[in-house]
Structure 1
């Protein structure tokens, strides 16, 4: 498998390149690129914890916007957290955390930030089989999932700053969840009804394709169809002739 090249000489980026699939490493790759737009404005020490203010410049609606984030890094436990909550939402370390880790010359991130489900070293047999058989669908689903997470992250980052706004977002998510549940149930019912009808029909009328294409034969006891029809016709003719003969003789006698 060809590896996506790193954009920096950081050992952390190489760690993710070594551990993650190409699909997921692209997202890490993007964060290392965005790291160039970040700058640490202040550093405060609180025991073993270090609180850093990170300023980031980004373009929104063709305008240059400055944003400030707070990153807390614990050198003793190697834990790190940013108030953009990107790792909690997407499972990816943000560019703000990366710039802080590189500032303090951290060469490797803790294993808790390397999610096993995205590792290319997974050796579960059933996951391997699915990745071979349904690879296109899995890639498509993963792409949709990542885009949705990114869109939600952008909304939360740009608009959610107060409990009131967070409540609006939660209400919207609850409404969307309800609609998605109804849609899923309607799809399930639509798929179940035709199958149930076909199953009921097959059980009630167990016929083969040959029987549907041609009429079923009715077996006769002692003679064929043509012989039986000929005998009936002969009897009818004899009966009419006998009746005519009797009538003719009766008229002669009169």
Structure 2
């Protein structure tokens, strides 16, 4: 170990060289390097080096093509038109997968009451109670609606078609958190609602709240629309404030009572 080595122009013996090597190892230098630093970022990248330093990510699999909104709407219209009875329509709409909110709902809520009734009430969408029970207007707002109808001698459970009512919503699945339905959700539900009205054949329609007015009239602003007869789906229609609004704003019950009297007079009751 008495041979001489040269390190940075200085002659050192073998023992000193070993000591320096051990010191470098203890300091974490575990790779042999050149005397002068080398900037590896400036080196030309070869294919093999690129493969080692940055392996190429595999090509993503192509995503299957998603149908556009117009195609989904045409599919909804086709399903609705093919239904010859309300039962067939309910089955077709329940099997329709164009609405994402279907996946988060507990139940499909199609209708309640007498399909042969002269009066059809159209609401917005199922709430929590409706989603649980699978029937429209059965929560607090629905209970108030039943009392309102009873005040003019009508009800969903009456066997007489003259005084019974048929009840449905624009949307048949509950929106998450009872949020307001989107324009696309209304548009995709409209072919089924239109066919439901055609098959039930009511004389008069009640548009209960902003969403039914948006679907039937392409207009909102229920406090301005209420109380005036309009035409919707080829039938006389009365926009009315939703019972949920009446629970929050009891003073509006007086106007709702006037609307009920107008409906009763229109039906000749």
Question: What is the TM-score of this pair, normalised by structure 1?
Answer: 0.23
Question: What is the TM-score of this pair, normalised by structure 2?
Answer: 0.22
- Whose helix proportion is higher, 1 or 2? 1
RCO higher in structure (CA 8 A, sep ≥6): 2
Larger radius of gyration: 1
